[in-house]
Amino acid sequence: MKYKLLFLSLILMISACTTKTIRIGFDPDVKDYTPIVLDAVADNPDGNFTLLFDDATYPFYPEKALDRYIAVSNNDNGDKKVVFNLEGMKNVTVCGDGTEFLFHGGMVPFYISNSECVTIKGISLDYDYPFTLEGKVVESSDEDKSFVLKINEECLYQVKDGQLYLQGYDWELPLGENIIFDAETESPYHNAFFYEAWNGNGLKAEECGDRLVKLTGFTARLMPPVGTIYVDKGPHGQNRRYPGFVIHGSKDVSLTDVVVNRSGAMALIAERSENLYCRRFSTQVPEESGLMIASSADATHFVGCKGDIVLEDCLFESMLDDATNIHSTFMKVDTLLDSHSFRASFGHFQQEGYDFAQLGDTLSFVDRDGLLPLCKGKVTEITHISENCYQMTTDADLSSYTGKELAVENTDYRAQVLIKNCIVRKNRARSLLLSTPGNVLVEGCDFASSMAGIRICGDANYWFESGNTDNIVIRDNVFRNLGHGAWVPQAVLQIDPVINAKSRSCDRFFHKSVVFENNTVYSSESQLIYALSVKDLSIKGNKFIETFEHEERFPGLALIDVQFCGNLFVEANDFTEWHKEAEISIHRCAHGDISDTALKVTDHPNTYYYEN
């Protein structure tokens, strides 16, 4: 093959596992390394090789990439252009030395499917153009609901037929979902939701100077202030097409010293995989780009995974969603066919195509209002009718649930999680979402997101992300001024399973044990801990420091708000730098041991409904 003759230095190293090392040396005359990488991988279909790259920038173009239709949970399904296609392989390493991979157009750099022992290290991923349109607001008028943008030099765009389009090498999107950022902090603007219109494709656009575009017809509550950065990523359902790493049905995958400078969806998404390790894995904008956004969705996301999930010494910044979300999936039970068989569909369109279950997997059936389990059973027959429909038979007797609104989850995929010494900042949405039954430890991290710090949820009616938790320990972390960018209160620790008010109970709980200890919390907000339906909740040894950085957005709420929980322990916390009127609200809890006399104990829970 050509790459053997022209571009590669091939070194065969016979070792205990007979692994090849294939050095793909950098040649400035090579304009597209896509066929070279595809040939190297195709020549070793079983794996057992290392691809070794130089300290250089390697270009990749879509014309000769592998065409694959890929269904990607929580992203947008569709035809993808793939370069590193690692399917059905073992013992594969992609190793760089300060190496940059530069992708042109809409491409998925890495697709790892049904593989084992895959290691990626020492590389960065970037694209020729960002997947967001970003510009500084230089004029803003409430009178005609217009503003003028000075569009960032990195962004490719076009105004045509009175509309503004963001573009790339081979893709184009109209405006859609938007947010504004603070140019100085490079973080979402305070009360950012006041400026979210999400009607970008309804804005009238006209060019009015060098990279100056006037947009008229903005429908948000407030107009973006002059000096802020307007960010738009295109319409919902079309703006999550190009994840950086897609991992399906794989085991023992490690990413070390990897940087994602841009991605047109999640930087990393893993489904039904086992033992996943991210060490010094980062999302961050290219230096001196002036951009706000690296990843247009989550930095990392894990759906229905098991074994170990490790995030250690990672930097997650400049995302338009969470640093991580770890959960399983509920399907809606649409029809009970008989006492053991049923049909089910996905509740959210971005879950369609997810590999929900296989023969022998254990399913748990829950009431969609209350989320508590009704029965369990093994899958004895299964038919994947379409991307959005499964027909399954189990050994559970379902005859008594006719007429109930049921959801079903696969409980065989449960991960234990370590998140240690990570930094999360400059992002829209939350820091961590944790919904997995395995042991979870969050330790030594620094969080500064615009919404909740750590959210522990579960719902069968909106996102359909499942996972009641057994044991979560959150200790020795720092939380910095979170919760300033949402439309409802967002707590530093927010435990909010979506349980109908009529289904809440004092003796049955969705989550089991959560420990929040020895953390330091800086905040201007009123409510810092919100907890619903936890059997054992311990809040101890934490220091709460009032910063006065912003005006309190939801005044009058209790500092700690606990509802329908079992055993509550609050002790040895330091409130000396918090206002003396702080309260803990305890509502319909089985037992409360409150040793912190600094807190006035009341019963006035907040009435906000948490869904998104």
DSSP 429-493: S-SEEE--SSEEEEES-EEE-SS-SEEE---SSSS-EE---SEEEEES-EEES---SSSS---SE
Q: What is the pLDDT of residue 611?
A: 67
Mean pLDDT of 364-390: 96
Q: Are 134 and 231 in contact (CB under 8 A)?
A: yes
pTM recorded for the entire structure: 0.96
Of 429, 465, 143, nearest in space to 295 by CA? 429
Q: Does an H or E element contain 191, and which?
A: none
Q: What is the pLDDT of residue 415?
A: 97
In this structure, of 238-242, 418-422, 474-478, 505-509, the range with the lowest mean pLDDT score is 505-509
**What is the token pair recorded at 452?**
């909740």
What letters, b where the CB count within 10 A reaches 16 and e where it falls short, cover 157-182?
beeeeebbbbebeebebbbbbbbbbb
Q: Is 516 helix (H, G, I), strand (E, B) or coil?
A: strand
Q: Is the model's pLDDT at 6 over the cut of 60?
A: no
Distance CA 50, CA 119 (A): 9
Mean pLDDT of 296-315: 98
Higher pLDDT, 275 or 19: 275
Q: Is the model's pLDDT at 327 over the cut of 90?
A: yes
Strands 300-303 vs 324-336: parallel, antiparallel or unpaired = parallel
Q: Is the model's pLDDT at 593 over the cut of 50?
A: yes
Of 225, 252, 233, nearest in space to 309 by CA? 252
Mean pLDDT of 36-46: 98
Q: What is the pLDDT of residue 13?
A: 33
Q: Are 383 and 390 in contact (CB under 8 A)?
A: yes
Q: Are 324 and 440 in contact (CB under 8 A)?
A: no
Q: Is the model's pLDDT at 263 over the cut of 80?
A: yes
Residues 6 or more apart whose Cβ sits within 8 Å of residue 533: 495, 497, 499, 504, 505, 509, 510, 511, 563, 564, 565
Q: What is the pLDDT of residue 372?
A: 87
What are the pLDDT digits (tens) for 65-84? 999 999 999 999 999 999 99
Q: What is the pLDDT of residue 151?
A: 98
Q: Is the model's pLDDT at 1 over the cut of 80?
A: no
Q: What is the pLDDT of residue 601?
A: 95
What are the pLDDT digits (tens) for 171-224? 999 999 999 999 999 999 999 999 999 767 789 999 999 999 999 999 999 999
Dihedral sign computed on CA atoms, order 399, 402, 404, 408: positive
Distance CA 512, CA 510 (A): 7
Burial of residue 61, with CB atoms counted within 10 A of its CB: 0-12 exposed, 13-18 middle, 19 or more buried: buried
Q: What is the pLDDT of residue 19?
A: 83
Of 298, 261, 264, 302, nearest in space to 283 by CA? 261
Distance CA 381, CA 394 (A): 7
Residues 6 or more apart whose Cβ sits within 8 Å of residue 579: 546
Rounded to 5 degrees, φ, ψ at 502 are: -75, -15
CA distances from 233 to 134, 166, 199, 237, 329 (A): 9, 8, 12, 11, 26
